[in-house]
Structures are given as structure tokens and as C-alpha cells.
Amino acid sequence: MVTAHNEPEYVVEAFRAGASGYVLKQCAVSELVAAIQQVLDGHTYVTPLVAEHVVAAATNPKLRRNPASLTTRQREVLQLVAEGCTAKEVANWLNLSVKTAVFPQNGHHG
């Protein structure tokens, strides 16, 4: 999954939805190539830019008691993205605008 979202809950939900790798759009080409190679070799890949935040969120007792969760709609969008759908395909499939499909909101801009 290549995305602009670096929030730990997106990373967790992406893997729950079936992603094998998680890379941010601003990564270097060399990192993207390394991520693809890891996945092709049967491993998972999480960009170091978010891995630290995911571990911190997972090990923070305060966050474990009250975990951030995605809305049902955000999960639907993430599932389709993890399956390889484009923003336009997600929008058509879920009857959303492309802007909403790209940035599924939880009542505010994140």
C-alpha cells in the first residue's frame, strides 16, 4: 500500500485488510523498490517513517485501553485500496466523491 496517511491506525487497518507492505508516497524510489522486493520474497514491509509510531501506539498502555479506530466507511475505503483499487474505483464502488474516497473523514480533517 502506498499512501500519504501515516497514522498508526491506518497502518494496522491496512494489514488487517490484507496489505503486505506500507509505504508513504514521499518515500525514495529505492525504498519503494526495497519494499516491493521484501513483499515478493514473502515478507512484510512497513516504512521506518511510520513503524516507530505504530510500535509506540501499540505499546502505550493509555492507547491500548482506548484505541483509535477507523469508521466503518474508512475501513471500506482502506479495504478497497489494499485490494489495489484506485481512488476513482473506490469512489464509484462506494458511491462517494473521489475527494471523500481519498480522504475518508471522521468528522474532521486529519
Q: What is the pLDDT of residue 68?
A: 57
Q: What is the pLDDT of residue 23?
A: 92
Class of residue 11 by CB neighbours under 10 A (exposed 0-12, middle 13-18, buried 19+): buried
Please name the amino acid found at residue 109.
H
What is the mean pLDDT for each group of 10 consecutive residues in the chain (110 residues)? 85 85 91 92 91 78 56 76 77 76 50
Q: What is the pLDDT of residue 62?
A: 63
Q: What is the pLDDT of residue 49?
A: 84
Q: What is the pLDDT of residue 99?
A: 67
Query: Which pTM was predicted?
Result: 0.59
